[in-house]
Amino acid sequence: MKISFSSHLVLIPVVSICSLLFNEAARAQNDVPALPESQKSLKDSVQSSPLSFEEFLADSLRMDSARKVQTERQANLRKELNALSRTTLGEEVLEWSHSMDVEVLRAGKTVAQRFWFDEKLKDGPFLWLGDTLRSEEWLWFDAEQRRMATLFLNSGQGNYISKRLAEMSKMMGNGTEIAPKKSDPWQFVKEGAESFYRLQTEQGEYRLTVGEKNPTEASAMVNWLKLQPIKGIVLPAAVKKLPIQSLSLNDADGRTTYACKVLVKEDLDPKFAVDLSTMHVNDPERSLNVIAKEWAEKNKVKEAEE
């Protein structure tokens, strides 16, 4: 009886202690202070931030996509407007069978020019290099349309020169002409083995030499001279059939103010050809109203086709 009583006495304190600990733990948990409202908001924000970032990213992607579409539209519009501001030189293919290099001395500077010519194109259009050292830039003059342009044949691009500027430069015709045979002011001079034509003017004394009879070359040389930025000259009647080989102008002090001479002539085989339909030339004289009208008509046709 004594032993059993002792065991019972020991068990009671253990159970009491466990119950006490459990109750204290539960009370401690219930006694935890509530979070302030600001901390709750921060907690909610942190928990919802992944979703907010995904929405922000989606909005950004949509904006970037819209911006890209707008940029592409603007680029296409600029491309269309640039295309409308350009015109082609024509629809045909022109061929030249000959070329000649001419050395020019003017204003103390010497350059070599190259001029293409053909019997079928004796009235133009004319094509030449104003300086053979700048072989990428060509000069073009259509006498029928009275338009002059700079061309870049390698790229198929070019620019029309304003008519006013071209007229002022005298590169669309400086007034040079051939004198009638009955009223030719030039004097033919023969000094030993040398012969030439001479003309005295207010600018000074002109001296001109000619080659053997060749009407095609003669016409080409006169055409080239008409396109030079110099004062027009009344040439001797002989140059209608005899090609000019050299021309010089000396002032009253004997100084040469202008001179040109043919360096070389070449027969071209195959002929030098230019497809005018592949040459796109910017025209500064095309008004914005015309460009806008053509663009609207083009889009109207395009929409009808779609």
Q: What is the pLDDT of residue 298?
A: 67
How large is the average pLDDT for residues 134-140? 90
Q: What is the mean pLDDT of the chain?
A: 80
**pTM, full prediction:** 0.68
In the structure, what pLDDT confidence band is assigned to residue 26 with cuts at 50, 70 and 90? very low
pLDDT at residue 296 is higher than 80: no
CB 232 within 8 Å of CB 174: yes
pLDDT at residue 11 is higher than 70: no
d(CA 79, CA 257): 47
d(CA 113, CA 102): 5
CB 126 within 8 Å of CB 143: yes
Q: What is the pLDDT of residue 68?
A: 74
Q: What is the pLDDT of residue 292?
A: 59
**199 vs 134, higher pLDDT:** 199
d(CA 168, CA 171): 8
Region 87-285: CATH code: 2.50.20
Q: What is the pLDDT of residue 5?
A: 37
How large is the average pLDDT for residues 82-111? 88
How large is the average pLDDT for residues 87-91? 87
Q: What is the pLDDT of residue 135?
A: 84
**Domain boundary assignment for the chain:** 1-32, 37-86, 87-285
**285 vs 271, higher pLDDT:** 271
* Secondary element (H or E) of residue 198: strand 194-200
d(CA 122, CA 297): 39
* Secondary element (H or E) of residue 141: strand 138-142
Say if strands 177-178 and 234-235 run parallel, antiparallel, or are unpaired: parallel
Among 278, 247, 33, 47, which Cα is nearest to 153's? 278
| Choice among 114-123, 156-165, 234-243 with the minimum mean pLDDT | 156-165
Q: 222 Cβ partners below 8 Å, 6+ apart?
A: 176, 178, 235, 239, 240, 244
CB 259 within 8 Å of CB 207: no
| Choice among 26-30, 113-117, 198-202 with the minimum mean pLDDT | 26-30
How large is the average pLDDT for residues 81-100? 83
